[in-house]
């Protein structure tokens, strides 16, 4: 498989770009933020996403989805990254849909996947508990009670947590924090007794929530995958999410870089275009190369995920680590090269910086993934 | 439907090719050739005076040559393997899987060949390409001059017309292995009155010609891979010009793209074992098996991330080129990053080796192999166009930033 888009993939990109740039330019995010929109995204746009087959992009066709792969999901994420469009696509269509497709039993799949495909169900994974992404440190407790379990603990950075119709909660059913053994995923109704959801307004004006679970009762049918053996399922789902966020960061980096290069070609100081200054030319060129290398690493990760999710950890770690450092560099250079304008809220560049910071923390930052690679290589 | 069927057939054929290639390599690549060369003497460069450093090296070379796989994607009529882009990628992947080293290293393969395939006339292709493929002629590159380094187009070596010949006089520098080369591809000024890019020709001649002399340059590594090369009235037929007279800069630039791609490959070429393991041997590990130097461990891990990402980008660059979507200046981007990465690799190796990496002459240190290799890498970001020139090319030709 070549690391270039096929004709079908190019068409998918064009149709995603057409819709997103038309209906959700950066001003769309700005409006949602300034109006303190209670939903945090456009329901109308989400319906368009469903109609175009994007909501169920990864869902198998038998469940009403498009049955496409991670490379295609990455193409849509990249376009989302270009305009910073707030969308349930990541939490619902990529992460939750993958968790259900990969871990769900027949009943769970036929209950939830068609609703994801037609855009009527929003779902999300609740994983992080502390300040940093440490999946194995999960300590939200799942205690056996009668035929089911009782969940107690707290989750943070639950994307779309305040609007989700279904929570996929990572819990510790046995053992202690840090152990691989003893993790279980549960499907939880956010309206269940004992669930307290606090929408957290974030720096990037995208949706996130803190959720507390106080003796929340779930029955045995709510287990997604196997009891105590959820780590492998979780690894795969997280790697899929990481690949998708890396793609979003490539799109974000592309856009912020494109805007910055345009500015270098138009802004005059000292009687010339600032893009004539070699100090800026070389920094722009270095950033260009960084972005191209990260683009390739991200495509590679998505390609490897499509081949076999279980064998993609190293390629995904490389992509997410690179995407984090590259996007961070892109937004910093973007603000610096735009000078004072880059510091103003009126100018869009700051939105990219804020979103990049959140994407960096989502599913593990560059340090986390670099560390994972070192461990995998045994040094 | 018919379209997907034909692509299914295609991928089935490719899988057959993969299986056959894997089996052939398993059967024909000697075990000694399944690891990177450890010294320059261990690399086979071909040429009139070529000697094999070992029997496995000879066997491997001859078997690959007979299949046309010293130059797998060249046409068969010129001694190549005639492989398609997809087949070539499979062959590279299978050689990589086995750790098989290239059977023949050659500036003819990496640089001159592609330029001849594009700009050479029939007679030139028939004369030179098969000898490159078969490793019979070793080439060197006459580009840089003492006063024409980064500003290559200001070169002054003169070629004066004399009937059907040119008489060439001047000096080249940094000519890699000129002292071992049989022929040279050389940039000469054929019109001193034209603008600097418009009076240059690209010409081929035998290093045994009267008036050619070479003098190796001792480098900080203690090796002399580069030479000064002098031309004192060398007579060369005008038919040896590749492309049009005075249009040599086009050929030169095209060849430079290939040279830069070759040099950037140094950033992808490992040293046989992962850096983390090499470092663990000398630095040691803690109770959890982690490298006992947290800062060095972090540098290595970051290096590994970047190295893997660059490999993906190199793969994509080839795919883009085959798809006709590559920017012609992209090799400059890769050259910049690949060479800077290779310098990082050797800084890490020196740090990991500590005191042991400082020995220069002992048997134990294989005559200071590591520090000499470390010093050699410092040329990577200079030769074939400096990092600063590469960044300038990216800024102007790819980003279209306003030029000076």
DSSP state of B148: B
Contact B392 A282 (CB under 8 A): yes
The token pair at A88 is 């349930």
DSSP state of A33: H
Contacts of A336 (CB under 8 A, 6+ apart): A342
Residue B36's pLDDT is: 82
Shortest CA distance to A170 belongs to which of A87, A101, A238?
A238
Residue A314's pLDDT is: 97
Please report which residue ranges of chain A form alpha helices under DSSP H: 7-23, 26-34, 43-51, 70-83, 97-103, 106-117, 231-266, 278-307, 313-337, 349-361, 366-376
Estimate to the nearest angstrom the gap between the alpha carbon of A276 and the chain centroid: 37
Rounded Cα–Cα distance for residues A101 and A242 (Å): 17
Instruction: Tell me if ipTM is over 0.90.
Output: yes
**Cα dihedral value A242, A75, B323, A22, nearest 10:** -150
Contact B279 A261 (CB under 8 A): no
The residues of B carrying an active-site annotation are 259
Residue B271 — pLDDT band, cuts 50, 70, 90?
low
Residue B5 — pLDDT band, cuts 50, 70, 90?
very low
Residue A159's pLDDT is: 98
Residue B1's pLDDT is: 36
Angle at A172 between CA A168 and CA A176, to 5 degrees: 155
Residue B41's pLDDT is: 76
Rounded Cα–Cα distance for residues A79 and A10 (Å): 12
Residue B6's pLDDT is: 58
Contact A376, A311 (CB under 8 A): no
**Is the pLDDT reported for residue B267 higher than 70?**
no
Contact B98, B246 (CB under 8 A): no
- Whether A231-376 and A7-122 are alike in CATH topology: the answer is no
- Chain A residues close to B391, C-beta within 8 Å: 281-282, 285-286
Rounded Cα–Cα distance for residues A17 and A272 (Å): 35
Residue B9 — pLDDT band, cuts 50, 70, 90?
confident
For every residue of B360-383, DSSP letters joined together read: SS-TTTTTTHHHHHHHHHTTTTTT
Residue B7's pLDDT is: 66
For domain A125-224, say whether CATH 3.40.50.150 is its number.
no
Contact A318 B305 (CB under 8 A): yes
What are chain B's domains? Answer: 2-105 (1.10.540), 139-248 (2.40.110.10), 268-398 (1.20.140.10)
- Taking one residue from A and the other from B, the number of pairs with CB-CB distance under 8 angstroms is 133
Q: What are phi and psi of A154, to 5 degrees?
A: -140, 150
Contact A185, A223 (CB under 8 A): yes
- Chain B residues close to A291, C-beta within 8 Å: none
Contacts of A228 (CB under 8 A, 6+ apart): A173, A174, A181, A182, A183, A184
Longest dimension (CA), chain A: 78
**Which listed CATH number (3.60.20.10, 1.10.1200.10, 3.30.470.20, 1.20.140.10) goes with A231-376?**
1.20.140.10
**Is the pLDDT reported for residue B3 higher than 80?**
no
Compute the nearest-CA separation of B328 from chain A (Å): 14
Rounded Cα–Cα distance for residues A233 and A186 (Å): 12
| Average confidence (pLDDT) over B17-34 | 96
Rounded Cα–Cα distance for residues B325 and B340 (Å): 25
- Chain B residues close to A286, C-beta within 8 Å: 336, 391
Supply the mean pLDDT for chain B.
93
Contact B333 A374 (CB under 8 A): no
Predicted structure pTM score: 0.92
Contact B305 A370 (CB under 8 A): yes
Contact A285 B392 (CB under 8 A): yes
Rounded Cα–Cα distance for residues A299 and A289 (Å): 15
- Chain B residues close to A296, C-beta within 8 Å: 309, 312-313, 315-316
Q: At what angle do helices B294-322 and B330-353 cross, to 10 degrees?
A: 160
Longest dimension (CA), chain B: 78
Q: Chain A residues with CB-CB distance to B under 8 A?
A: 2-4, 261, 264-265, 272-273, 275-276, 278, 281-282, 284-286, 288-289, 292-297, 299-300, 314-315, 317-319, 321-322, 369-371, 373-374, 377-379
The token pair at B396 is 């102007």
Contacts of B191 (CB under 8 A, 6+ apart): B198, B199, B246
Query: Taking the domains of chain A in order of start, what are their residue ranges?
Result: 7-122, 125-224, 231-376
Rounded Cα–Cα distance for residues A329 and A331 (Å): 6
- Percent of the residues in chain B that have a pLDDT greater than 90, as a whole number: 85
Residue B403's pLDDT is: 82
Contacts of A357 (CB under 8 A, 6+ apart): A203, A204, A328
For every residue of B272-319, DSSP letters joined together read: SS-HHHHHHHHH-B-TTS-BS-HHHHHHHHHHHHHHHHHHHHHHHHHH
- Chain B residues close to A295, C-beta within 8 Å: 313, 316
Q: From first to last of its 379 residues, what are the pLDDT tens digits of chain A?
A: 789 999 999 999 999 999 999 999 999 999 999 999 999 999 999 999 999 999 999 999 999 999 999 999 999 999 999 999 999 999 999 999 999 999 999 999 999 999 999 999 999 999 999 999 999 999 999 999 999 999 999 999 999 999 999 999 999 999 999 999 999 999 999 999 999 999 999 999 999 999 999 999 999 999 999 999 999 999 999 999 999 999 999 999 999 999 999 999 999 999 999 999 999 999 999 999 999 999 999 999 999 999 999 999 999 999 999 999 999 999 999 999 999 999 999 999 999 999 999 999 999 999 999 999 999 999 9
Compute the nearest-CA separation of B268 from chain A (Å): 13
Angle at A54 between CA A51 and CA A60, to 5 degrees: 105
**Is the pLDDT reported for residue B4 higher than 50?**
no
Residue B273's pLDDT is: 81
Residue A161's pLDDT is: 98
Contacts of B175 (CB under 8 A, 6+ apart): B140, B141, B142, B144, B181, B184, B214, B226, B227, B228, B229
Contact A375, A313 (CB under 8 A): no
CA distances from B151 to A370, B147, B156, B245, B264 (A): 40, 8, 12, 21, 21
User: Which among A286, A293, A377 is the nearest to B309, CB-wise?
Assistant: A293
Residue B225 — pLDDT band, cuts 50, 70, 90?
confident
Report the SS3 class of residue A344: coil
Rounded Cα–Cα distance for residues A180 and B223 (Å): 53
Bridge partners, A218 (sequence order) = A149
For domain A7-122, say whether CATH 1.10.540.10 is its number.
yes
């Amino acid at each position: 498989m070549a690391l270039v888009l096929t004709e079908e993939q190019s068409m998918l990109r064009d149709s995603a770009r057409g819709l997103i740039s038309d209906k959700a330019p950066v001003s769309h995010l700005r409006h949602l933020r300034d109006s303190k929109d209670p939903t945090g995204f456009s329901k109308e746009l989400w319906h368009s996403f469903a109609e175009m087959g994007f909501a169920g992009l990864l869902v198998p066709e038998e469940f009403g989805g498009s049955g496409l792969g991670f490379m295609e999901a990455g193409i849509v994420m990249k376009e989302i990254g270009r305009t910073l469009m707030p969308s349930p696509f990541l939490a619902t269509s990529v992460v939750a849909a993958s968790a259900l497709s990969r871990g769900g039993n027949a009943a769970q799949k036929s209950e939830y996947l068609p609703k994801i495909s037609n855009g009527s169900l929003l779902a999300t994974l609740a994983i992080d508990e502390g300040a940093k992404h440490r999946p194995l440190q999960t300590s939200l407790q799942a205690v056996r009670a009668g035929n089911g379990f009782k969940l107690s603990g707290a989750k943070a950075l639950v994307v779309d947590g305040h609007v989700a119709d279904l929570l996929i909660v990572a819990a510790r059913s046995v053992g202690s924090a840090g152990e691989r053994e003893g993790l279980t995923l549960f499907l939880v109704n956010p309206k269940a007794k004992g669930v307290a959801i606090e929408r957290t307004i974030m720096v990037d004006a995208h949706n996130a929530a803190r959720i507390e679970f106080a003796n929340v009762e779930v029955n045995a049918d709510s287990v997604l995958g196997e009891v105590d053996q959820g780590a492998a399922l979780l690894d795969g789902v997280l790697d899929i999410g990481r690949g998708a966020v890396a793609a979003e960061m490539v799109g974000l980096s592309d856009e912020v870089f494109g805007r910055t290069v345009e500015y270098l070609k138009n802004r005059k100081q000292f009687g010339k275009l600032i893009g004539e200054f070699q100090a800026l030319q070389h920094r722009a060129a270095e950033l260009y190369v960084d972005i191209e290398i990260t683009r390739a690493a991200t495509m590679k990760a998505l390609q490897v995920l499509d081949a076999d999710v279980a064998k993609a950890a190293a390629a995904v770690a490389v992509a997410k680590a690179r995407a984090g450092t590259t996007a961070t560099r892109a937004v910093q250079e973007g603000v610096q090269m735009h000078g004072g304008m880059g510091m103003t809220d009126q100018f869009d560049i700051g939105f990219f910086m804020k979103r990049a910071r959140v994407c960096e923390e989502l599913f593990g930052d560059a340090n986390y993934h670099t560390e994972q690679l070192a461990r995998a290589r045994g040094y | 439907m018919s379209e997907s069927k034909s692509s299914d057939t295609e991928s089935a054929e490719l899988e057959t090719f993969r299986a056959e290639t894997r089996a052939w390599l398993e059967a024909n690549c000697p075990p000694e050739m399944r690891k990177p060369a450890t010294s320059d003497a261990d690399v086979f460069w071909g040429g009139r005076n070529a000697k094999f450093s070992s029997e496995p090296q000879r066997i491997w070379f001859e078997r690959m040559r007979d299949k046309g796989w010293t130059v797998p994607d060249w046409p068969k009529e010129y001694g190549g393997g005639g492989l398609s882009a997809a087949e070539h990628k499979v062959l590279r992947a299978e050689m990589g899987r086995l750790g098989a080293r290239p059977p023949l290293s050659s500036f003819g393969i990496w640089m001159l060949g592609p330029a001849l395939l594009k700009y050479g006339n029939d007679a030139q292709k028939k004369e030179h390409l098969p000898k490159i493929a078969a490793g019979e002629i070793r080439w060197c590159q006459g580009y840089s001059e003492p006063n024409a380094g980064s500003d290559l187009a200001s070169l002054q070596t003169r070629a004066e017309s004399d009937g059907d010949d040119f008489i060439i006089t001047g000096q080249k520098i940094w000519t890699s292995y000129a002292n071992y080369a049989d022929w040279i591809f050389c940039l000469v000024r054929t019109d001193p009155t034209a603008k600097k890019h418009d009076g240059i020709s690209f010409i081929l001649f035998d290093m045994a010609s009267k008036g050619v002399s070479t003098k190796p340059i001792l480098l900080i590594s203690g090796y002399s891979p580069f030479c000064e090369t002098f031309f004192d009235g060398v007579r060369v037929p005008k038919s040896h010009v590749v492309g049009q007279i005075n249009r040599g800069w086009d050929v030169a630039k095209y060849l430079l793209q290939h040279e830069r791609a070759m040099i950037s490959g140094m950033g992808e070429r490992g040293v046989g074992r992962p850096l983390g393991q090499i470092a663990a041997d000398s630095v040691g590990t803690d109770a959890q098996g982690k490298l006992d130097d947290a800062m060095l461990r972090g540098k290595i891990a970051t290096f590994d991330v970047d190295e893997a990402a660059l490999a993906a980008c190199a793969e994509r660059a080839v795919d883009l080129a085959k798809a006709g979507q590559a920017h012609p200046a992209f090799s400059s981007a890769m050259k910049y990053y690949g060479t800077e990465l290779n310098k990082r690799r050797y800084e890490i190796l020196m740090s990991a080796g500590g005191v042991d990496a400082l020995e220069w002459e002992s048997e134990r240190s294989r005559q200071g192999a590591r520090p000499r290799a470390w010093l050699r890498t410092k040329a990577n970001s200079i030769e074939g166009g400096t990092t600063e020139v590469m960044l300038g090319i990216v800024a102007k030709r790819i980003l279209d930033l306003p030029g000076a």
